[in-house]
Chain A
C-alpha cells in the first residue's frame, strides 16, 4: 500500500503527496470550505485545528504528534469523493468530515471499502441507515432530535397549529421529513409547510406568508444566516408567535446577526458553547480567542471528532485503522476518561450518537439553558 502511494506521488507530479514521517499520525479533514457549505465547514475545520493543537501540546496520541490536512470539497459530491480517496491513498489514519449529506453519501463507500473510520458532522437521518459500519456522527441525528421538539411543542408551548419553515437542502429537508410525522403523532396541525432556498437573502415574502397563516408557533429549521434573516423579517412583519428551533436557531451566530429579533426564541439544543457544562464554555472561549468569532455547533463537532479518534486509539493502544472503527462502535466515551469529548457520548452500532441535550431560550441576546434532557437510552 505504502509503496503504491509513493509511486503515485512520483508519477502524478502533484496528484500524490509527500511521504508521512514515522513519528506522526495523519488525519485528513475533508470539509466544505467553499460553496454552499463553507460556513459550517469553516467552523468544523477550526474546531478540528483547535483539538489538534490541544492534543499536540499535551504530547499527541500515544506519543505521536497529529498531522492534520484539510481538503476542500467545494460542497460537491464528486470532489468530495476525490478528496476522501486521496486521504486514503495518503495513508490517513481516519477521515474527518464532511458536513453535508450529499458529499457524505458520495464518499462513505470509499472509506468503507478501505475499512477506515469516517467521522462526519452531518445530521440528516439517511446515511447511518445504510449499514455502513465505518461512518460515525458527531451530533444527534435529526431522528433523535425531532421527537424532542415535537414533545416540547405539545407540552410546553401547547401549540395546536404550526408553521414549518425549512431550508430546501439535505439538512432542512431531512429535518422537515423527520418532524412532520412527529407533529402528526402529537396532534399538532401543520398549517404552513414553507420551503426556502439555501442562501436565500430576502425573507419578506416568507414572513408575510407565515404571519397570515395565524399559527400558534413557528418551527424554523434553516442554516445560520438564513435563520437570522428570517427572524429579522418576521420581526419586521410583526410576528409575535413563539419561534421554535433546533440547535442552529439558538446558536451564537444567529443571535449575533439577528440582534433583538432573536429574543424569545426557544427550542432544543444539541451542542452549544453556552451549555451549562464548563468544558463547553472553555471551548467557546478558546475558540473565540483564536478565531475572533463564536463557534457554532459545527466547531464543537470538529473538536469532538478529533477527540473520538484520540480516545479510541488510546483505548486500543495502537494505530490500527480498522480497530479504530471497531473500538468506536458501541462505545461510551466519558469526559472523565477523555476530557476533550466534553460530554458523555454513546456511539451506537450504526454510528448514531446518544447523549444529553438541552432546552434553551434566548433572553436579552444570550442563550439560556432552561432544562437538560436525558439520553434516549440512559
Chain B
C-alpha cells in the first residue's frame, strides 16, 4: 500500500520509493483505470452506473483529501462545491447549449474562485475557522439552489441533462459514459499524484504537520493553505460536472450539509492523507450500501456500524489498516500512527 503521508515517515518514503518518476501509486492508478475500463462488460447497467457513481464521488473525495488529508484543513462544504459544479454544468449545457467540456472547465474555475474568496477571510483568522465558515456556506448554497427557482429549478431540479460527446462519439450508453468517467477520473488522480509529489505538495504536508515550523522554514502558509483549499474545492466542482450528466437530473438534495459530512466520512474512513484513500472511502460510502441491500431495512445500520468499528479498530481508515498489515508482513515499522489527522483543536 502507499507510504503514509505523515512527516515522520518522509525519510522512509525515499527509501521505499521506486525509481524517481514512477511509484506504486501511479502503477496502481494505471492498473485500476485499465480494470475499470473493462470491468462493466456484461455487468448490466446498474453495476456500471454504481461504478461510475463511485468514481465521480471519488473525485470529490480526492479533493477533500487534499484539503484535509494533506493540508489539514476541515472543509464542511465539499458537497456544496459539488453542487456548484453540477448546477453550473447543468444550467450551461441544458439551458444555454454550451459544450460540456467548456462547462466542465468553468465549473472547476468557478469552484476554485469561490474557494479563494471563501478561504481568504477564514484563513486570515485561523485555519480551523474554515470549518465554521464552510458550514455556513454549505447551507447558504443549498438554500439558494432550493429557493431561486428561476435559475436552478428550485425543489423541482433540472432534468434532461445531456451527456457529452467524445470526438463525435455519443456517450449516452451506460458503458460509454462509464469509460469517459474512468478517463477523467484517471487524469484528475494523476494530476493530484503529481501535485503531491511536487514541491507544492511537500509544502502542503509540512503545513499539516506543523504550521508554525513550516512558516519559520519560509513556507508562505496563507497562500499554500488557500491554494490547497481552492484546488480541493475545484475537484468537487469537477465531480459535480460529471455527476449532473451521469444522473441526468439534479436537485438540491445531494448537495446538502449532511452530504458534505458524508464526504468527510469517506475521506477519513478511506484513510485521509493517502492518495488511494479516497477511492476506498468512496467505495465504502457508495458501493458498500449497495452491496448491503440484501440486508433489507437494516442496511444503513450495518453500514454505519462497519464504519464505526473500522474507525475504532483503525482510526487511520482502511488505508491505515492495509498499511499496518503490510508493515507486519514485511516486518518494517512504517510509522503511520498519526496520519489520520493531528490531535488538537478542531
Q: Contacts of A8 on B, CB cut-off 8 Å?
A: 42-44, 46-47
- Alpha-carbon distance A35/B253, docked complex (angstroms): 10
Q: Which of A5, A33, A130, A173 contacts B154 (CB 8 A)?
A: A173
Q: Which of A75, A88, A109 contacts B45 (CB 8 A)?
A: A88
Which residues of A (62-108) have their CB < 8 Å from a CB of B?
Answer: 70-72, 74-78, 81-82, 85-86, 88-90, 101-102, 105-106
- Asked whether, in the complex, the Cβ of B294 is within 8 Å of the Cβ of A14, the reply is yes
B159 touches A (CB below 8 Å): yes
Known: A7-B42, A7-B43, A12-B47. A77 touches B251 (CB 8 A): yes
- Alpha-carbon distance A124/B156, docked complex (angstroms): 9
Q: Contacts of B149 on A, CB cut-off 8 Å?
A: 173
Known: A102-B157, A124-B156. A89 touches B44 (CB 8 A): yes
Which residues of B (118-140) have their CB < 8 Å from a CB of A?
Answer: none
- Asked whether, in the complex, the Cβ of A77 is within 8 Å of the Cβ of B250, the reply is yes
Which residues of A (124-168) have their CB < 8 Å from a CB of B?
Answer: 124, 126, 130, 168
B115 to chain A: closest CB distance in Å?
24
B300 touches A (CB below 8 Å): yes
- Alpha-carbon distance A234/B250, docked complex (angstroms): 35
- Alpha-carbon distance A223/B317, docked complex (angstroms): 40
- Alpha-carbon distance A310/B243, docked complex (angstroms): 37
- Asked whether, in the complex, the Cβ of A70 is within 8 Å of the Cβ of B296, the reply is yes
- Asked whether, in the complex, the Cβ of B43 is within 8 Å of the Cβ of A82, the reply is no
- Asked whether, in the complex, the Cβ of B46 is within 8 Å of the Cβ of A89, the reply is yes
- Alpha-carbon distance A7/B45, docked complex (angstroms): 12
- Alpha-carbon distance A102/B44, docked complex (angstroms): 24
- Asked whether, in the complex, the Cβ of B156 is within 8 Å of the Cβ of A173, the reply is yes
A372 touches B (CB below 8 Å): no
Known: A82-B290, A124-B156, A130-B159. A75 touches B46 (CB 8 A): no
Q: Contacts of A5 on B, CB cut-off 8 Å?
A: 44
Query: Which chain A residue has the least Cβ–Cβ distance from B292?
Result: A14
- Alpha-carbon distance A77/B155, docked complex (angstroms): 12
Which residues of A (1-60) have their CB < 8 Å from a CB of B?
Answer: 4-5, 7-8, 11-16, 33-36
A356 touches B (CB below 8 Å): no
A34 to chain B: closest CB distance in Å?
6
- Asked whether, in the complex, the Cβ of A85 is within 8 Å of the Cβ of B45, the reply is yes
B125 to chain A: closest CB distance in Å?
30
Which residues of B (242-276) have their CB < 8 Å from a CB of A?
Answer: 243, 246-251, 253-254
B293 touches A (CB below 8 Å): yes
| Contact bitstring B45-71, A, C-beta under 8 A = 1, else 0 | 111011001000000000000000000
B299 touches A (CB below 8 Å): yes
- Alpha-carbon distance A76/B294, docked complex (angstroms): 19
- Alpha-carbon distance A89/B149, docked complex (angstroms): 35
Known: A126-B156, A173-B155. A15 touches B253 (CB 8 A): no
Which residues of A (195-236) have their CB < 8 Å from a CB of B?
Answer: none
A169 touches B (CB below 8 Å): yes
A338 touches B (CB below 8 Å): no
- Alpha-carbon distance A183/B205, docked complex (angstroms): 62
Query: Which chain B residue has the least Cβ–Cβ distance from A71?
Result: B293
Known: A15-B50, A76-B254. A4 touches B248 (CB 8 A): no
Query: Which chain B residue has the least Cβ–Cβ distance from A14?
Result: B291
- Asked whether, in the complex, the Cβ of B46 is within 8 Å of the Cβ of A15, the reply is yes
A170 touches B (CB below 8 Å): yes
| Contact bitstring B295-328, A, C-beta under 8 A = 1, else 0 | 0110110000000000000000000000000000
Which residues of A (247-299) have their CB < 8 Å from a CB of B?
Answer: none
Identify whether the interface residues of B are mostly helix, strand, loop, or mixed.
helix
- Alpha-carbon distance A36/B47, docked complex (angstroms): 26
A302 touches B (CB below 8 Å): no
Q: Contacts of B156 on A, CB cut-off 8 Å?
A: 101-102, 105, 124, 126, 170, 173-174
Query: Which chain B residue has the least Cβ–Cβ distance from A42?
Result: B297
- Asked whether, in the complex, the Cβ of A105 is within 8 Å of the Cβ of B159, the reply is yes
Known: A15-B47, A106-B248. A72 touches B299 (CB 8 A): yes
- Asked whether, in the complex, the Cβ of B146 is within 8 Å of the Cβ of A77, the reply is no
- Asked whether, in the complex, the Cβ of A11 is within 8 Å of the Cβ of B43, the reply is yes
Query: Which chain B residue has the least Cβ–Cβ distance from A34?
Result: B300
Q: Contacts of B155 on A, CB cut-off 8 Å?
A: 102, 168-170, 173-174
Q: Contacts of A75 on B, CB cut-off 8 Å?
A: 253
- Asked whether, in the complex, the Cβ of B157 is within 8 Å of the Cβ of A89, the reply is no
Q: Which of A4, A102, A109 contacts B253 (CB 8 A)?
A: A102
- Asked whether, in the complex, the Cβ of A82 is within 8 Å of the Cβ of B46, the reply is yes
| Contact bitstring B231-248, A, C-beta under 8 A = 1, else 0 | 000000000000100111
Q: Contacts of B154 on A, CB cut-off 8 Å?
A: 173
Q: Contacts of A82 on B, CB cut-off 8 Å?
A: 46, 49-50, 53, 290
Known: A105-B159, A126-B156, A170-B155. A77 touches B253 (CB 8 A): yes
Residue among B46, B160, B249, B296 facing the most chain A CB atoms (10 A cut-off): B46
B319 to chain A: closest CB distance in Å?
22
Q: Which of A85, A101, A130 contacts B46 (CB 8 A)?
A: A85
- Asked whether, in the complex, the Cβ of B291 is within 8 Å of the Cβ of A15, the reply is yes
- Alpha-carbon distance A72/B299, docked complex (angstroms): 9
A84 to chain B: closest CB distance in Å?
9
- Alpha-carbon distance A254/B42, docked complex (angstroms): 49
Query: Which chain A residue has the least Cβ–Cβ distance from B294?
Result: A14
- Alpha-carbon distance A36/B254, docked complex (angstroms): 12
Q: Contacts of B160 on A, CB cut-off 8 Å?
A: 109
Q: Which of B42, B47, B146, B249 contacts A105 (CB 8 A)?
A: B249
- Asked whether, in the complex, the Cβ of B46 is within 8 Å of the Cβ of A168, the reply is no
Q: Contacts of A12 on B, CB cut-off 8 Å?
A: 43-44, 47
Other A-B contacts than A15-B46, A15-B291, A109-B248, 9 sampled, CB-CB below 8 A, are A8-B44, A12-B47, A13-B291, A16-B46, A77-B250, A89-B46, A106-B249, A169-B155, A173-B149
Closest 8 pairs between A and B when the two form their complex, measured CB to CB: A8-B44, A89-B44, A106-B249, A86-B46, A102-B251, A7-B42, A85-B46, A14-B291
7 contacts between A and B (CB under 8 A): A8-B47, A15-B290, A16-B47, A75-B253, A77-B253, A81-B247, A88-B45
Q: B-side interface residues toward A, CB under 8 Å?
A: 39, 42-47, 49-50, 53, 146-147, 149, 154-157, 159-160, 243, 246-251, 253-254, 287, 290-291, 293-294, 296-297, 299-300
Q: A-side interface residues toward B, CB under 8 Å?
A: 4-5, 7-8, 11-16, 33-36, 70-72, 74-78, 81-82, 85-86, 88-90, 101-102, 105-106, 109, 124, 126, 130, 168-170, 173-174
